[in-house]
Amino acid sequence: MLPVFVQSCHRCHVTFSLHAVDPVFVSFLQVTMRERLSLWAVFCLLVAFLPSQTVAVMSVDLGSEWMKIAIVKPGVPMEIALNKESRRKTPVAVCLKENERLFGDSALGVAVKNPKVVYRFLQSILGKTADNPQVAQYQKHFPEHQMQRDEKRGTVFFKFSEELQYTPEELLGMILNYSRGLAQDFAEQLIKDAVITVPAYFNQAERRAVLQAAHIAGLKVLQLINDNTAVALNYGVFRRKDINSTAQNIMFYDMGSGSTTATIVTYQTVKTKESGTQPQLQIRGVGFDRTLGGFEMELRLRDHLAKLFNEQKKSKKDVRENLRAMAKLLKEAQRLKTVLSANAEHMAQIEGLMDDIDFKAKVTRSEFEALCEDLFDRVPGPVKEALAAAEMTMDEIDQVILVGGSTRVPRVQDVLLKAVGKEELSKNINADEAAAMGAVYQAAALSKAFKVKPFLVRDAAVFPIQVEFSRETEEEDGVKTMKHNKRILFQRMAPYPQRKVITFNRYMDDFVFYINYGDLGFLSEQDLKVFGSQNLTTVKLSGVGSSFTKHSDAESKGIKAHFNMDESGVLILDRVKLGNTISSLFGGGSSEPTANVTEPVTDEEEVSPEAEKDQERSEKQEESAQEKPETEEGKEGEPQAEEGHRGVQKEVSVSCFSELINVENELTESEKWDRHSVVTEDSLKNSHVFLPHIRLQDLTDRDLEKQEREKTLNSLEAFIFETQDKLYQDEYLAVVTEEEKEQITGKLSEASNWMDEEGYAAGTKELKEKLSELKKLCKAMFFRVEERKKWPDSLAALDSIAEFFLFYFFYKRSIFETFFIFFCLGNLEGNAVLSKDIDAKRSLLDREVNYLLNKAKFAKPKPKDKAKDKNTTSTENSKANSTEDAEKIITPKSDDGETDYFILANPLI
């Protein structure tokens, strides 16, 4: 295996790694580093040997109202990507017009004028059925949209026109594709790999909806990371020196635009076999409120402003019935909420709110707080839920850190401070960008192009999941009854990723089992309604009886269902096997956590549904099993999970049989939106086929065509105006005749008139042809101007070498005769000497000079005359030596008899 060379950024703890590098090159780099060559120089060397494939990765902190995008690429560790307006955050909004799409701030600009074509705040309806309360709430907030039920999937879609309908996943896919474009523009290279944040309370349906949207956007999702986990990772990475073996419990209170989450995280160092002692974060408890956020406050303000306008009685119409006016009021309410966070009162004002009537009214902070009193009463709720989930008290929490833009509302801070009983609330992280930066750190950790300093992450599932099945039992009196069994697969706050195995020992024929959510008693009645159905899927197993018949002489170890909750918190039924496999099905077996991957707590765990134990005892044993490195059945040959729960499957059968059996998932109504909520891997690959990708690709092609046309149109306009202006500049007047000037001016005027009459409606091809025609007409003029700019430097260089040449080697008159042609350059004629010709002559002359200088430098001295009298006096010898050392003067004759003097001895270089 070829070695790997790595170099780190100590500030961000991100390491760039060059894989599969030639060993000689690695040795050279190591020597270079020992010589203390600068990091930048080493990086430049690395880039020179980089493969052509892209290495940059991105993260998207996908909020309900805003998204923040971050990238990591060689030389740019962990940076927020700016959008086209050079802003660090972008509205999650898309505007659909007949022939174009607009995103972000451009889409919001249209929302005020035509709210029907702008879609935003889509997060709340992802993975929701048509009868979900949040769908009804969304329709109330945005009555301008036509939402209809999808009879096949049970979810909703937006009816844009009779021909076009879009699902929330499609619209979010468009937005994610736009975010990818922003990241690529900022990174100046293609990007496919991404980590996307989702709320910790997202269930299986909601998580799969985001994955589908990313699939539509052409993104490869390395991981869906809970936003609270991303924040906690960002906090820990930049404070790793403060983390030690003593546990530190920190609560992150995150109030964004659409929801609020409180998360308790424990930081401490742990020992690992691979990396030694490393810092670790563990999610201990999560509490949330799905609808408590800044957007609900803005809606209250919007309605208050509408009431004030109606009370002014400047119009007989009710402003609340005017969708465009209400969109303007919402925009003003958003601004007003921000201003009132720093001021006791402020003046709301909108020009031409409705029927050309201006609106102006004063709003105080006390009025705003009165409007949202019931919302502020809900602020402590997530804190209490998080403490209950973690089984902790506030006395055990070291500090409470604020996250999210809505925590800047003073009343929120006052209520929260009172609820947690602390002296102060910490504000020592970037409340807006912490999640994006934590997610991009995770993206670098998961990418093959980077290495990061290990930071162990133990995330937790908020909702428990269990397996249910019915089995016929025979009582002592011989009466047969059906017994319903429940076995917990993943408990509440169970760490993931993790694999689990359930063995069915007493089934000899085809049967059915159900995968459902477990006890959700910790949710409120309203949350349960929003959560939707508690049934995930029904799994039908076929081929069981025929397999037993075929292997009747072999020993059976039961029917094993292998489950996996991956890094994204998505549950998958990997496979169902009849019989037993020994050896190590997944290889490895280390129970140590993996750096920057949520820790798999144990080896693949065996959950025995056949044990005759009550539910409470089963749960206790489950907890106990999670603390063991492996189960007893694992020792006897049960599959084990390698580090990171990945490995190569090795199936060996000894005195038993192992056979994959058919699995059919029969989804409940609430999961039909996804078609495969819990499915085998092969089935999951086909779970996106119902989405109209061709339609979305067509929209993308239209956007690209529109951008190309606009670029060509702008280039043509700029060329016409700039060239018209140049024709009055001295440097251009010096190289054109009156006839040429008149011709060019006429064509430019003709093109300008064409632009006013037809050009702005012309197609891209026609615009390009017009631009090409004008450039061809002006090409000679531009060329001559450039030549005149180059002449002084070229002539000066030639003159310098010519003087040197003249002074030492040739007759002045002769060289002037040959050099004279260079000063007879025409201004306008086509046969004028070009700057490149001057440079060519200079190069030839320079070569001759160097040749003669080298010849003179290495010439051997002439031997002494042997016929010279050896008896010359010492005085004569001294004189002779002095004469030989002196410079020889040669007086060559020119054709006209004039004498030129040159010094040949000791020539200057």
SS (H, E, C) 595-664: ECCECCCCCCEEECCCCCCCHHHHHHHHHHHCCCCCCHHHHCCCCCCCHHHCCCCCCECCCECEEECEEE
Q: What does the alpha-carbon distance between residue 809 and residue 903 come to, in Å, rounded to a whole number?
A: 9
The SS3 of residue 485 is: strand
Most confident of 247-261, 463-477, 856-870: 247-261
Task: Determine, yes or no, domain membership for 36.
Answer: no
Tell me if 64 sits within 8 A of 124, measured CB to CB. Answer: yes
Let me know whether 298 and 426 are in one domain. no
Q: Which positions ≥6 away from 673 have C-beta within 8 Å?
A: 127, 129, 150, 153, 154, 155, 205, 209
pLDDT for the residue numbered 606: 59
CATH, residue 285 = 3.30.420.40
With respect to residue 277, please indicate whether it lies within any of the assigned structural domains. yes
Listed in sequence order, the residues at least 6 apart from 316 whose beta carbon sits closer than 8 Å to its beta carbon are: none
pLDDT tens-digit map of 701-747: 777 777 788 888 888 888 988 988 888 888 888 888 888 888 898 88
Question: Could you say which of 408, 440, 460 is where a domain stops?
Answer: 460
Residue 898: is its pLDDT beyond 90? no
Q: Which pLDDT band, with edges at 50, 70 and 90, does 838 fall under?
A: confident
CA–CA dist 701, 715 (Å, integer): 21
Please tell me the predicted confidence (pLDDT) of residue 660: 59
Side chain identity at residue 415, one-letter code: V
| 809 vs 272: which has the higher pLDDT | 272
Provide mean pLDDT across the span 109-134: 93
Whole-number pLDDT of residue 440? 95
Confidence (pLDDT) at 580: 54
Q: Which residues touch 541 (CB under 8 Å, ≥6 apart)? A: 510, 511, 512, 513, 559, 576, 661, 662, 663
pLDDT at res. 607: 60
User: What's the alpha-carbon Rg for the chain, to the nearest Å?
Assistant: 39
pLDDT class of 840 with cuts at 50, 70, 90:
confident
When pLDDT is averaged across residues 161-167 and rounded to a whole number, the result is 86
pLDDT for residue 444 is more than 90: yes
pLDDT at residue 479 in the model = 80
% of the chain at pLDDT higher than 90: 44
Q: Is the peptide bond before 410 cis (omega within 30 degrees of 0)?
A: no
In a domain, 356, yes or no: yes
Of 45-59, 375-389, 829-843, 888-902, the one with minimum mean pLDDT is 888-902
**Do 445 and 561 lie in a common domain?**
no
> What gap in Å lies between CA 562 and CA 501, rounded to an integer?
5
Residues in the chain, total: 909
CATH number at residue 355: 3.90.640.10
This model's pTM is above 0.75: no
Q: Give the count of beta carbons closer than 10 Å to the beta carbon of residue 28.
A: 13
- Residue 439 vs residue 808, higher pLDDT: 439
Q: Say yes or no: 395 and 442 in one domain.
A: yes
Per-residue pLDDT tens digits for 507-561: 888 889 999 999 999 999 999 999 988 988 888 888 888 888 887 777 777 888 9
Distance CA 363, CA 336 (A): 8
pLDDT, tens digit, for every residue of 323-368? 999 999 999 999 999 999 999 999 999 999 998 899 999 999 999 9
**pLDDT (0 to 100) of residue 807:** 61
Residues 96 and 196 in one domain: yes
Structurally, how many domains does the chain consist of?
4
Does one domain contain both 168 and 306? no
pLDDT value for 27: 43
Higher pLDDT, 301 or 672: 301
- Average pLDDT, integer, range 156-163: 88
Give the pLDDT score at 358: 94
Q: Name which residue leads in pLDDT, 650 or 287.
A: 287
Full residue range of the structural domain in which residue 347 is found: 294-377
Distance CA 732, CA 296 (A): 63
Whether residue 25 lies inside any domain: the answer is: no
Residue of higher predicted confidence among 236 and 545: 236
Confirm if 492 and 500 have CB atoms less than 8 A apart. no
Residue 489 counted as domain residue? yes
Q: Are strands 90-91 and 66-73 parallel, antiparallel or unpaired?
A: antiparallel
Q: Which residue has the tokens 């109330």?
A: 140
Q: Hey, which residues does 471 pair with through a beta bridge? A: 483
Whether the predicted pLDDT of 81 surpasses 50: yes
| Tokens read off for 226 | 């809970």
- For residue 210, what pLDDT is reported? 95
Average pLDDT over residues 613-642: 36
What pLDDT score does 583 carry?
Answer: 29
Q: Choose the most confident range, by mean pLDDT, from 64-73, 470-479, 889-898.
A: 64-73
Q: What does residue 847 show for φ and ψ, rounded to 5 degrees?
A: -65, -40
Residue 436, pLDDT score: 96
- Of 750, 766, 799, the residue at which a domain comes to its end is 799
Is residue 625 domain-resident? Answer: no
What's the pLDDT score for residue 713?
A: 86
Q: Is the pLDDT of residue 408 over 80?
A: yes
**Domain identity same for 305 and 223:** no
Reference 300, options 333, 256, 257, 258; nearest CA is 333
Structure-model confidence comparison of residues 591 and 224, the more confident one: 224
Q: Do 16 and 74 contact (CB within 8 A), yes or no?
A: yes
Average model confidence (pLDDT) across the chain: 77
The verdict on residue 591 lying in a domain is no
CATH number of the domain residue 721 falls in: 1.20.1270.10
- Whether residues 350 and 209 fall in one domain: no
Strand partners, 168: none
Burial 72-109, CB ≥16 within 10 A → b, else e: bbbebbbbbbebeeeebbbbbbbbbeeeebbbbebbbe
Residue 163 is which amino acid? E
User: What pLDDT is stored for residue 575 in this prediction?
Assistant: 85
Distances (CA, A) of 89 to 60, 66, 92: 10, 6, 9
Percent of the chain residues past pLDDT 70, beyond the cut: 70
- Mean pLDDT, residues 18-23 taken together: 40
Q: Let me know whether 359 and 414 are in one domain.
A: no
Residues 258 and 243 occupy one common structural domain: yes
* One domain, residues 417 and 449: yes
Based on the fold, state whether residues 163 and 279 are members of the same structural domain: yes
- Does residue 75 have a pLDDT over 70? yes
762 compared with 694, residue with greater pLDDT: 762
Q: Is residue 392 part of a domain?
A: yes
DSSP lists the bridge partners of residue 349 as 360
**pLDDT-wise least confident of 20-29, 299-308, 423-432, 846-855:** 20-29
Residues 439 and 538 in one domain: no
Domain end among 347, 377, 407? 377
